[in-house]
Amino acid sequence: MRLMNASGCLDALTAPDVARSLDAFVTKTVTPLPRTGNPGPRIAEVEHGMLNSIGLANPGIDAFVATALPRLAALDVPIWVSVGGFVVDDYVELCDRLDDRPEVDTIELNVSCPNVDDVPSSVGEIVAAARAATRKPLYVKLSPATADITASALAAANAGADGLSLVNTILGLALDERTLQPRLARRAGGLSGPGLKPVALAAVYACFEATGLPIVGMGGISSGRDALEFLASGAAAVAVGTILFGDPAAPARIRGELAAELSARGVDNPDDAVGLAHAREPSAAASSTTSVMVSS
């Protein structure tokens, strides 16, 4: 099982030791042109997490490829590059630029940033076009802010996605306690942290059953217990985001806690925990999971 960071929640170049504690580093989303991002305030803590409205601030693909990518490669951690755009051609251009770069392990298509105004085209169109532009593994990061996330997941699967990253943040609002005005300059922002966890688990659970694609699960993972719940819901890998802000040593801690959780249940390999929350046919349960003790 791989433990990664959620895109936009770590700068491997300012915190290389944190990046090296991960099984893969996921970059902040790169767009074709540089973006300065939204004005501040960009973040606001809420009761069970935080809101952000960074707005895809990034140096653009030219500067990323020329400057950041070689430095990231020197970290000796597999690099996933998150890419984002506003029209299908943006994704095609980005995938094309990264296709022959040996430093890039996987491309994550961010089709779900809540902090930009332009709504990207349909998931199926973007993934199909990106698929044609690169041989790299393609993961698709989806928003849970939809009536049926499995529709997007199936569209991604049918268009040739290799996996899903679930989930991106959902829009939330926080008001100043004194003035009752929005605390973010952009008013609403993406909710992350523990408050997002049940939403993310539901998405992972549904997409695991609907697609069978490998899933990187994320949304409020703060402990080994949280990671275990994502595995049980169907994630093959997990990513940490908000917890890194307060605890840069969270990856090692979560790994240790997860090992203890698995061991307490008699599970030797984290991969054996994937999908445990799903109802199984009696014969399948008898043949493959007899040694697994599932607490109720």
Partner 1 sequence: MLQRERPSVLGIEAVGPYRLLRVERGRLEPGAPGQFFMLEAPGRPLPRPMSLCLAPAGELAFLIDPIGPGTRALCTLEPGERLSVLGPLGHGFRLGVERPLLVGGGIGVAPLPYLSEVLGRPPAVLGFRSDWHAEAAALVPNAEVVVEPTYVTEAMLAGRDVLACGPEPMLAAVARLAPEAQLAWEAPMACGYGACYGCAVQIDGELKRLCVEGPVVAAEAVAA
Q: Under 8 Å CB-to-CB from 128, ≥6 apart: which residues?
A: 159, 160
Compare residues 93 and 247 and give the one whose CB is closer to partner 1. 247
Structure tokens at 25: 């580093």
Name the residue type at position 88: V
59 binds partner 1, rule: CB under 8 A: no
Active site residue 113: yes
- Answer for which of 37, 78, 137, 160 binds partner 1 (CB under 8 A) is 37
Backbone angles phi and psi of 160, in degrees to 5: 105, 15
193 lies in the site for partner 1, by CB under 8 A? yes
Widest Cα–Cα separation across the chain: 61
Among 70, 198, 212, 246, binds partner 1 (CB under 8 A): 246
Interface with partner 1, residue 177, by CB under 8 A: yes
**Min separation Cβ 14 and partner 1, Å:** 3
From 1, 42, 91, 116, residue interacting with partner 1 (rule: CB under 8 A): 42
- Min dist CB 56 to partner 1, Å, is 10
The owner of tokens 């049926």 is 148
Burial status of residue 295 (CB atoms within 10 A of its CB: 0-12, 13-18, 19 or more)? exposed
Which span (33-41, 64-72, 158-166, 262-270) binds partner 1, by CB under 8 A? 33-41
- CB atoms under 10 Å from CB of 278, counted, come to 12
Identify the CA nearest to 237 among candidates 247, 250, 245, 227: 227
Residue 179 sits in the site that holds partner 1 (CB under 8 A): no
Which chain residues interact with partner 1 by CB under 8 A?
8-11, 14-15, 17-18, 28, 36-37, 39-50, 52, 54, 57, 177, 193-194, 242, 244-249
Residues taking part in catalysis = 113
